[in-house]
Structure 1
């Protein structure tokens, strides 16, 4: 059988095993009773590349479990830097690569390095909750910059107008979670030039950079040739690309070797051995060297499923869903049903036995109200069953609107 066909079979319906996932996925399947389909956490329901499993098993086979170097292995930093240059045009600078135990940890470390009490940090709205949490944790203040939920447009001039003498950091997310927007070079270049002019560093979260659907392509801000040189901290990881969130594989590409050293010191102050485990590093190296055929087949599966799910969601009364250019999350607008995001989430869990993430301020910022987030990194069979349930529940709701919810006690 040709390799392509073999890889495609890794994402067929039989590969998703709910009984096993309820044991192994505590933030998704294990968080809900049997019978509930969870479309919540953005983690795939498929096993990752076999090469990664083999590398991790080999790393533990001798029974030694040592501490890891806070700087990460030299070969891993060199390999990651090679990949970043080849795939995204970021210059090959291993001395600027800082491994971290996951992308979330990398993001928190950059915010802690650059921001403190009384500072202001520009954060997109809506956007994933990690940005706001990290800003709050250091005592800084969130300054929201809106992103158009319908078009995904970010206005660089609007962002520039939010900069004050207290602005310590601009936080971007591209591809964008939860909208799925892939910001283009013109937008990123405008933001970069503004940041450089005001001497404000940029945190660019690009963890979704390898989940981008043709014909769109990912543009890394750090790869742009601008008139002035902004200080860009590129935060990324391997969890979304290779279905490996539990191995905690994050990286930062700092603007310079000096700033990379400062970030490593910040990580060490957060924890004496604040780094990837040696086994995660073995897995990361295998993914970067051997995981790309798996990723290509995964992306092909996701693109077909994205198109199918968007079509089905737009056929549900009161739902309106755009087609994302990247990520494997959807962010349908459900406001036409008359329900708030929280009420819709509760309704679907109660009546459809489908769990989604409500578009509430604590999850995605104030602008997320009226939407819900759905992860579709699973099989077509799981998604069809979930969407069948949602369709039936919402069609029953439609004639009575919110009165149906009051009758059932849902808020």
Structure 2
């Protein structure tokens, strides 16, 4: 089996190895020059569970790399986990594995939407759902969220549903605001879906990254088993999730869709075939997924405890920087601080921090998170305390230059204040 250092803490500073990560993490460490600290992609800087590594190594040890049909054991295992942890009835014939959560989202959108359709999605929200809607030829209809509180107004969402609406898209827990939607919000959205006969796509890839006392509730559980029900027959819910966030396994490419029923699951499989994504799960992907679902939960619990400590520390440090305001999320491992009081736009702040602080963040621009994201940047804190401390020290020093020097402090970088923002706005 693969050697493991069982004596070293799982999430201490020594586990973050920048030189190795520059080769293995092309969307995070590998995407920035040496010396830059990336707080960008929602990808942990830590190795995943050792049991997964062992399972993958064992699966390839004999040297055979054959085609792999969809594993019934994997579907049954995930279905049992979904029933036990998310309250969604145990029906393996409703489970459709997919080569990653992004592929799962694309499959559902392409199954349900086409040219001329409208899809209601949240604003701001991560780019993947919007990209899938565009690719299907449908039109995005944004439902603004309250960025200060993270709340979603179900009545506002209901007002956006028209005869052209083909899909209501949720992200729960929400990326990038970190909201974990309460039952009353989900129930109201479900009622709207039932009333208008519109299906729901619920992206729940962050469902295990939730900090007490918050509790994640799957909207599909409102209509499943013996759980709480909405009026009528309940909405058709396609729940999308995966292993990337829960177990730090984005490169394993393992996602799942829980379809409303076997018929819908079959239609989704045919859609994956049409998209060229059928039979895409390797034997070692499925072996690793089984190991994670059966034996990875103690690792996940330790990971969550580390993340909660990093969330509190990072939010506190950001709020101590004049011009930055940062809410503390109930879920995910990203923060979405408001930087508008510095006088910089989201894009300008991202460029400024990269050049002056040597810290990379994701700017709150429309292409990343939608129109409502302006004035914010996204920060991933799934790293060690030492990495965060150094990054936050650099950010505080750089932003301090803006606040004390105003536009003059930005001349060497080419970054400009937002039009109409005076020097006083940065004080």
Instruction: Give the distance between the partners of 2:125 and 2:64, measured in 1 at CA.
Output: 41
| Alignment check: 8 A CA contact 1:43 1:240 kept | yes
Instruction: Give the distance between the partners of 1:272 and 1:9, measured in 2 at CA.
Output: 38
| Partner residue, 1:258 | 263
Q: 2:396 aligns with which of 387, 391, 394?
A: 391
Q: 2:378 aligns with which of 373, 378, 387?
A: 373
Instruction: Give the distance between the partners of 2:173 and 2:278, measured in 1 at CA.
Output: 30
| Partner residue, 2:252 | 247
Q: 1:333 aligns with which of 333, 338, 357?
A: 338
Where do 1:110-121 residues align within 5 Å? 110-121=108-119
The alpha carbon displacement at 1:243 in A equals 0.3
The alpha carbon displacement at 1:279 in A equals 1.1
The alignment yields a C-alpha RMSD, in angstroms, of: 1.1
Q: TM-score, normalised by structure 2?
A: 0.93
Where do 1:91-240 residues align within 5 Å? 91-224=89-222, 225-228=229-232, 229-240=234-245
The alpha carbon displacement at 1:21 in A equals 0.4
| Partner residue, 1:30 | 30
| Partner residue, 2:365 | 360
The alpha carbon displacement at 1:400 in A equals 2.5
The alpha carbon displacement at 1:408 in A equals 2.9
| Structure 1 unaligned blocks of 5 or more | 1-5
Q: Deviations over 1:129-174 (max 9, x none)?
A: 0111000001100000011100011011000000000000000000
Instruction: Give the distance between the partners of 2:106 and 2:247, measured in 1 at CA.
Output: 22
| Structure 2 unaligned blocks of 5 or more | 1-5, 223-228, 417-427
The alpha carbon displacement at 1:397 in A equals 1.3
SS at match of 2:405: coil
The alpha carbon displacement at 1:199 in A equals 0.4
Instruction: Give the distance between the partners of 1:381 and 1:160, measured in 2 at CA.
Output: 45
Q: 2:314 aligns with which of 309, 315, 321?
A: 309
Residue correspondences, number: 404
The alpha carbon displacement at 1:336 in A equals 0.1
| Alignment check: 8 A CA contact 1:152 1:179 kept | yes
| Partner residue, 1:89 | 87
Q: Deviations over 1:361-401 (max 9, x none)?
A: 00000000000000000000000000000001111111222
Within the alignment, does 1:346 sit opposite 2:351 as a pair?
yes
Within the alignment, does 1:66 sit opposite 2:70 as a pair?
no
| Alignment check: 8 A CA contact 1:338 1:402 kept | no
Q: Quickly say closer, same or farther: Cα 1:192–1:8, change in 2 above 3 A.
A: farther
The alpha carbon displacement at 1:7 in A equals 8.6
Q: Quickly say closer, same or farther: Cα 1:397–1:7, change in 2 above 3 A.
A: farther
| Alignment check: 8 A CA contact 1:232 1:255 kept | yes
| Alignment check: 8 A CA contact 2:124 2:145 kept | yes
Q: TM-score, normalised by structure 1?
A: 0.97
Instruction: Give the distance between the partners of 1:106 and 1:273, measured in 2 at CA.
Output: 11
SS at match of 2:285: helix
Instruction: Give the distance between the partners of 2:379 and 2:8, measured in 1 at CA.
Output: 23
| Partner residue, 1:3 | none
- Greater mean deviation of Cα atoms: 274-283 or 179-188: 274-283
| Partner residue, 2:274 | 269
Q: Quickly say closer, same or farther: Cα 1:281–1:7, change in 2 above 3 A.
A: farther
SS at match of 1:268: helix
Instruction: Give the distance between the partners of 1:195 and 1:408, measured in 2 at CA.
Output: 49
Q: Quickly say closer, same or farther: Cα 1:8–1:186, change in 2 above 3 A.
A: farther
| Partner residue, 1:19 | 19
| Partner residue, 1:10 | 10
The alpha carbon displacement at 1:272 in A equals 6.1
SS at match of 1:9: coil
